[in-house]
């Protein structure tokens, strides 16, 4: 089924998003006190990376500094600055490919071959900047769409390698970059993916695994491998990715209808099943609650494992766990607050949203 068929059937309807604060209220949240300081750094970097004035102001309006500051409200300045620039690097690259297609403009969004070349160059550039490869791309030109990553890599290479886990980070970033390929193929064809197709790339394009790999760095802690890379943490990584993916699909539906995006669980459910818009939303919300329960169960088990270690290690473990919690609450707050989705005008007194489609 073509995406336009589903979106045309939704026009004129009202998307009802229930109040999700009870779900996210279980976890830590906040905004880093260095938010405004970070905003200056982020906006200065955006000025360097994006030449088109309209695109530059649009990127600034997203307020990526708020997102990073809400993700890590208790991070120290160096870690916060790193993650702010990291966020800019990922968003600018993603938006160069995954954006509304203008038939009058030849760009990465409309040209799969050119985008594939960009993906290849960005992976080579990323590995070069992380000092994992020196040839044959040592003299390759820096992809301007991913140029901010050079600053990020420079900081991470000076940090504790036990905390930054560079080889694992590179693997996660490669997955993020490559995942936009199958997503772009579906978008150019205009066909709706199955739920299985969706999840085959959705965790990748969300980039949450790359963030999670840096959570020891953000929390400034060093955990033994049987804690930091335990089965419980692997579950936490998946659920901390699952949450923002589906939460995003609720709050971005109006925007994605306008842009013709195929990576959204709502149209997938409507095409795969006999669901109505209301029952599709209920399905997604139920999935969010189930994911939260799986996350909390993993955290409880991880804390129990942590009891075998001394007080200082348990404190470090708590800081580490909190980065996963605040990451998820930040995404929810960002989706509501950001002009990227334009959702605040539809907020009701009870915390729900009535969004005209």
The CATH number that applies at residue 226 is 1.10.600.10
Give residue 136's pLDDT.
53
Number of domains in the chain: 1
Handedness of CA 39, 28, 339, 262 (dihedral sign): positive
**Is 347 contained in some domain?**
no
Give residue 79's pLDDT.
98
Give residue 330's pLDDT.
98
**Is 351 contained in some domain?**
no
**Is 256 contained in some domain?**
yes
232 confidence band (pLDDT: 50, 70, 90): very high
**Is 357 contained in some domain?**
no
Q: Can you tell me whether residue 349 is helix, strand or coil?
A: coil
Residue scoring higher pLDDT (22 or 137)? 22
**Is 42 contained in some domain?**
yes
Whether the per-residue pLDDT at 5 is higher than 70: the answer is yes
Write the pLDDT tens digit of every residue in 237-265: 999 999 999 999 999 999 999 988 889 99
Write the pLDDT tens digit of every residue in 27-56: 999 999 999 999 999 999 999 888 888 888
Whether the per-residue pLDDT at 138 is higher than 70: the answer is no
Whether the per-residue pLDDT at 302 is higher than 90: the answer is yes
Comparing CA positions, the residue from 170, 55, 178 lying closest to residue 118 is 178
Q: Can you tell me whether residue 338 is helix, strand or coil?
A: coil
Write the pLDDT tens digit of every residue in 146-168: 999 999 999 999 999 999 999 99
Handedness of CA 291, 293, 299, 302 (dihedral sign): negative
Q: Is the CB of residue 81 less than 8 Å from the CB of residue 90?
A: no
Average pLDDT in the chain? 93
Cα gap 32→188, rounded to integer Å:
39
Give residue 48's pLDDT.
87
Domain that holds residue 44: 3-342
**Is 213 contained in some domain?**
yes
**Is 117 contained in some domain?**
yes
Whether the per-residue pLDDT at 137 is higher than 70: the answer is no
**Is 115 contained in some domain?**
yes
């Amino acid at each position: 089924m073509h995406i336009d068929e589903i979106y045309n059937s939704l026009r004129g309807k009202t998307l009802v998003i229930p109040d999700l604060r009870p779900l996210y209220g279980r976890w830590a949240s906040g905004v880093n006190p260095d938010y405004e300081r970070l905003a200056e750094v982020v906006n200065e970097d955006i000025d360097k990376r994006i030449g088109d004035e309209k695109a530059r102001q649009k990127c600034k309006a997203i307020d990526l500094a708020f997102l990073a500051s809400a993700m890590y409200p208790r991070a120290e300045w160096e870690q916060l600055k790193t993650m702010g620039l990291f966020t800019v690097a990922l968003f600018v690259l993603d938006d160069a490919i995954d954006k509304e297609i203008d038939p009058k403009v030849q760009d990465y969004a409309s040209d799969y071959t050119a985008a594939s070349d960009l993906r290849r160059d960005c992976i080579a550039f990323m590995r070069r900047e992380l000092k994992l490869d020196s040839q044959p791309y040592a003299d390759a030109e820096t992809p301007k769409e991913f140029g901010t990553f050079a600053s990020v890599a420079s900081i991470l290479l000076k940090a504790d390698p036990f905390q930054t886990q560079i080889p694992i980070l590179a693997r996660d970033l490669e997955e993020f970059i490559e995942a936009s390929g199958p997503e772009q193929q579906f978008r150019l064809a205009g066909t709706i993916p199955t739920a299985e197709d969706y999840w085959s790339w959705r965790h990748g394009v969300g980039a949450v695994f790359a963030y999670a790999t840096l959570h020891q760095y953000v929390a400034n802690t060093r955990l033994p491998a049987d804690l930091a890379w335990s089965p419980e943490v692997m579950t936490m990584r998946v659920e901390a990715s699952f949450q923002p993916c589906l939460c995003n699909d609720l709050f971005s539906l109006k925007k994605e209808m306008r842009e013709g995006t195929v990576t959204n669980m709502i149209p997938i459910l409507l095409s795969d099943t006999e669901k109505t818009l209301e029952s599709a939303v209920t399905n997604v919300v139920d999935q969010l609650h189930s994911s939260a329960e799986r996350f909390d169960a993993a955290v409880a088990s991880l804390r129990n494992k942590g009891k075998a270690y001394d007080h200082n290690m348990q404190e470090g473990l708590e800081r580490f766990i909190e980065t996963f919690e605040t990451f998820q609450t930040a995404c929810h707050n960002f989706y509501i607050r950001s002009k990227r989705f334009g959702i605040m005008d539809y907020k009701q007194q009870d915390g729900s949203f009535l969004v005209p489609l």
